[in-house]
Amino acid sequence: MIAAIPQPASTVTLVRDSPAGPEVLMLQRSHALSFMPGAHVFPGGAVDPADASAELQALCAGLDDESASRALGIGRGGLAYWIAALREAFEEAGILLAYDATGDIVSFEDAERFLAHRRALHGRHGDFGAILRDEGLRLATDRLIYFGHWITPVTVPRRYDTRFFLAVAPERQEAMHDEHETIAHAWVRPREALDLCARELINLRTPTMKTLERFAASASVAELVEVLSCAAAVPSLLPRVTRDGRTLLPGDPGYDDAGGVGV
């Protein structure tokens, strides 16, 4: 069997503080989807060709393709992953991390106008670059922290090469699922989400679980941002599943001999 080439993708974990500690935004995917139906995920999706356009890259604040590519360990095209993460956050969760003319993160004072922009993107008759240009916005790429790299196993026909980013949710915007690919949303503490999964009340995939486990160790968003910002180089992780259903990561005993289905 010839392995499918993984498609570039981005995921953004939106976080905020609560009295009980950091919360992360979780979306539930539609049960009608063929890929991960019903799973609880972070906003994200495939990198579109338009994400690499010169127009969008010119609208990025504090980051260029050279520095973004260097952070990802690739020769070029890295900035498209940052752009895709921000676009997906707007499409799937309704959160737009972009600066207005005053240098502040945009607030949706005219919520209906931005909802119309979002619907246009869903219908594929909208242009993300045109939206930003018409609204006088610049993408807040400087507010994303790159912290994870997961690759779908070679045995899976639909594969993704996904970069994970952290972003602090803006205070003057409200998250909302898109009622298309996602059917519900909730702000949850990482440990709470893991407990719900352990009780089989929600479905989490391995990359999501490992991310939540990592986040659960921080007592505040500021602490989490500091930990991820100071982390060493981001390793590439390619899960494998054993014949008896155990998920193994690089370095686990038996990883080199494992095959089977993906996670």
Spans of all domains in the chain: 7-257
User: According to the CATH classification, is domain 7-257 in 3.90.79.10?
Assistant: yes
Residue that has been written with the tokens 């080199």 in this structure: 256
Per-residue pLDDT of the chain (263 residues; tens, 9 = 90+): 567 788 999 999 999 999 999 999 999 998 877 677 888 999 999 999 999 999 999 999 999 999 999 999 999 999 999 999 999 999 999 999 999 999 999 988 777 888 888 888 877 766 999 999 999 999 999 999 999 999 988 777 788 999 999 999 998 899 998 878 888 999 999 999 999 999 999 999 999 999 999 999 999 999 999 999 998 889 999 888 777 777 888 888 888 877 644 44
How confident is the model at residue 58, as a pLDDT?
A: 95
How confident is the model at residue 259, as a pLDDT?
A: 63
* Phi, psi angle pair for 217, to nearest 5°: -80, -10
∠173-177-181 over CA atoms, to 5°? 145
How confident is the model at residue 89, as a pLDDT?
A: 96
* Spatial distance between the Cα atoms of 148 and 233, rounded to a whole number of angstroms: 10
* Phi, psi angle pair for 41, to nearest 5°: -140, 175
